[in-house]
Amino acid sequence: MEKTNKITDQFLNKKLPNIKVGDTVKVHQKITEGDKQRTQIFEGLVLANKHGKGIQGTISVRRIIGGVGVEKTFPLHSPLVEKIEIVSRGKVRRSKLYYLRSLSGKKAKIKREDYIPGEESVEEPEEAPKEEIKEVEKESEQLENKEEPKQEKNPAKPQTPQDKEEKTKA
């Protein structure tokens, strides 16, 4: 399994946004017509996210063109997909939105969430320098070594009238 990961890692697209089902996305796809090459943008709603985020991952995008529903499935890591932009986020409670195929108009609307472009991406997090990690570890050790103030025995134990009398006598 590790050998296949080493081979496929070089083909993964590192600059993918965090695409979720219900998002409205713009997919920029390279189209070759004869000798010419151009970019075609397909904007639509993500119906399904299949096979995870690995090399075999795909998204299904649906759009209504001229009253006809058009669905395209895009491989996430294909060299023909230049980039994927998230236009807006949708608030859904399903992992697959295939039921939208039979709906139209207002019934096919999805609630929108607030989305700030560029706030989420699947980029690798930067690791903290080793020096900073060592400093934090030293500080935590110092805090652990400090003695805590001593408390009375069993403070959570309810006091009986006899215990109260003993305290008043002492």
Q: Three-state secondary structure along 87-116?
A: EEEEECCCCECHHHHHCCHHHHCCEEECCC
Check residue 134 and give its pLDDT. Answer: 66
Check residue 26 and give its pLDDT. Answer: 96
Instruction: Look up the pTM and report it.
Output: 0.65
* Residues 53, 136: Cα–Cα separation, whole Å: 34
| Tally of residues, the chain | 170
Check residue 9 and give its pLDDT. Answer: 87
Check residue 2 and give its pLDDT. Answer: 84
Question: DSSP for 32-73?
Answer: EETTEEEEEEEEEEEEEEESTTSTT-EEEEEEEETTEEEEEE
Topology of domain 2-113 in CATH is SH3 type barrels. (2.30.30)
Q: What is the pLDDT along the chain (170 residues), one digit of tens a residue?
A: 788 888 888 888 888 999 999 999 999 999 999 999 999 999 999 999 999 888 999 999 999 999 899 999 999 999 999 999 999 999 999 999 999 999 988 998 899 888 877 666 554 445 545 566 666 677 767 766 665 555 555 555 666 767 667 667 66
